[in-house]
């Protein structure tokens, strides 16, 4: 499964990580209401994969990432508006 290019760009512009399951079977391990956490997200986005922890079950799964340097900068800022605002403050 992949994101359409424009949808992926919109997620990143809003500071949301567009992740996909490396193993599609991991989707079946999730239930509504599960609390998911990405620990050290700003560090993990430097890699090609991001590990997501399900706090509800204690289990983790790997997702595919892969961002350009500009996308990483935008995600770390929390989105395009924050990135531009931060540049104007400097």
What are the residue boundaries of the structural domains of the chain, listed by start?
5-89
Render each residue's pLDDT in the chain as its tens digit; 90 residues. 566 889 999 999 999 999 999 999 999 999 999 999 999 999 999 999 999 999 999 999 999 999 999 999 999 999 999 999 876 665
Domain 5-89 indexed as CATH 3.20.19.10? yes
Q: Is 58 left (phi over 0), alpha (psi -120 to 50) or beta?
A: left
Specify which residues 37 forms β-bridges with. Answer: 53
Position 72 scores a pLDDT of 97
pTM comes to 0.83
Contacts of 12 (CB under 8 A, 6+ apart): 18, 67, 71, 74, 75, 79, 80
What pLDDT is attached to residue 89?
62
């Amino acid at each position: 499964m992949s994101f359409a290019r424009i949808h992926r760009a919109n997620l990143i512009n809003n500071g949301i990580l567009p992740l996909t399951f490396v193993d599609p079977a991991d989707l079946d391990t999730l239930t509504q209401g599960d609390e998911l956490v990405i620990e050290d997200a700003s560090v993990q986005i430097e890699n090609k994969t991001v590990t997501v922890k399900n706090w509800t079950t204690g289990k983790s799964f790997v997702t595919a990432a892969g961002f350009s340097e500009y996308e990483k900068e935008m995600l770390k800022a929390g989105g395009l508006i924050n990135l531009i605002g931060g540049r104007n403050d400097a």
